[in-house]
Amino acid sequence: MTGNWAETMDIGMIGLGRMGGPMSQRLLRDGHRVAGFARSADTRKQFEEKGITAAASLEDLVDKLKSPRVVWLMIPAGAPVDETIAELLPLLEPDDIIIDGGNSNYKDTQRRAQMLKANRIHYVDVGTSGGVWGLENGYSIMVGGDDNVVAQLRPIFETLAPAPDKGWGHVGPSGAGHFTKMIHNGIEYGLMQAYGEGFALMNRKTEFNLDLHQVAEIWREGSVVRSWLLDLTAAALAKNPDLDGIAAYVPDSGEGRWTVAEAIDLDVAAPVITLALLQRLQSRDPESFSNKLLSALRNQFGGHDIKKE
């Protein structure tokens, strides 16, 4: 690679939403220079007031960066990434770097890396975890890409991680970062489902009149099931003990589905993650045809009563 790299770097951030915006702020705090682009003028103005150099377009963003440029995508996976890369490609020069920090499918990442390599543009995939807490606590960073390129980006990853030597790592070649994050999210599905089922059982055991927030707080200290997800469970129950006003509808952003598909492809049994995904799908069906059919079948073969709507 060419160019002079220092401990503080210039980064162009595309996407200033729930993750991209706070990540930009964390980079700024550590002395990096950040130019940011968001399609909303109001969002650009909001972050300009926080010290980010706002760019009115992708062309403007690229113009604000020193060569070799580092452009970080923090946008929805799928078509938006391909479309943004297509817009960036004629604006970039050989040895510039595109980082995809979103939840892209690792197979898409491998395809994009090969395409960009033919154009002498480096592509680095970064599985990023930390959510809205990342600004203060740091992000878990799983990096995929060529060794020499990742090494040049080290100051960025050291800033975004919880500590320079903790919470981040170069896990393998192109696609490895997003693959690792995909598995991370599949595990997250299983953990969340287990907590949900356990607390549902305690909630149903009315004779003990359990204080679920109290139980969560007890488990947070010394228990083998303590975790950050349990910390968040305790916080949620402290705020809303009966979870009033929350619909029993659980979305998924894709990584759980990809994890299950990968398990099938690799002949690896992953029943917990698979069932956790299926539970999310079931949560979205308030008029479950399958459950209605089960009730009708019980009536057909056993004369069991059918509960009417």
Low-confidence ranges of the chain (pLDDT < 50): 1-5
- Domain end among 172, 198, 224: 172
279 assigned to some structural domain? yes
- Residue 166 sits in the same domain as residue 37: yes
In which element (H, E) is residue 43 found?
helix 41-48
- Domain end among 172, 205, 235: 172
- Residue 161 sits in the same domain as residue 278: no
User: In angstroms, rounded to a whole number, what is the distance separating the alpha carbons of residues 172 and 276?
Assistant: 28
- Residue 15 sits in the same domain as residue 128: yes
pTM of the model: 0.92
- Residue 150 sits in the same domain as residue 260: no
Residues involved in catalysis: 181, 188
Q: What CATH number did the domain enclosing 81 receive?
A: 3.40.50.720
22 assigned to some structural domain? yes
Task: For residue 136, give the amino acid letter.
Answer: E
Centre a 10 Å sphere on the Cβ of residue 115 and count the other Cβ atoms it contains. Answer: 14
pLDDT at 1: 33
Centre a 10 Å sphere on the Cβ of residue 297 and count the other Cβ atoms it contains. Answer: 11
pLDDT at 147: 98
- Residue 166 sits in the same domain as residue 204: no
Q: Tens digit of pLDDT for each residue in 37-93? A: 999 999 999 999 999 999 999 999 999 999 999 999 999 999 999 999 999 999 999
2 assigned to some structural domain? no
The boundaries of the domain holding residue 251 are 182-287
Residues with Cβ within 8 Å of 69's Cβ and at least 6 positions away in sequence, in order, are 10, 12, 62, 92, 93, 96, 97
- Domain end among 118, 146, 172: 172
pLDDT at 4: 38
- Residue 126 sits in the same domain as residue 36: yes
Burial of 5 (0-12, 13-18, 19+ CB in 10 A): middle
- Residue 167 sits in the same domain as residue 208: no
pLDDT at 5: 44
Inter-residue contact 182 to 252 (CB < 8 Å)? no
User: DSSP characters for 231-275?
Assistant: HHHHHHHHH-TT-TT--S-----SHHHHHHHHHHHTT---HHHHH
Strand partners, 123: 98
**How many domains are there within the chain?**
2
CA dihedral over 53, 55, 61, 66, signed as positive or negative: negative
pLDDT at 287: 87
Q: What CATH number did the domain enclosing 187 receive?
A: 1.10.1040.10
User: In angstroms, rounded to a whole number, what is the distance separating the alpha carbons of residues 179 and 95?
Assistant: 25
Strand partners, 100: 73, 125
pLDDT at 6: 52
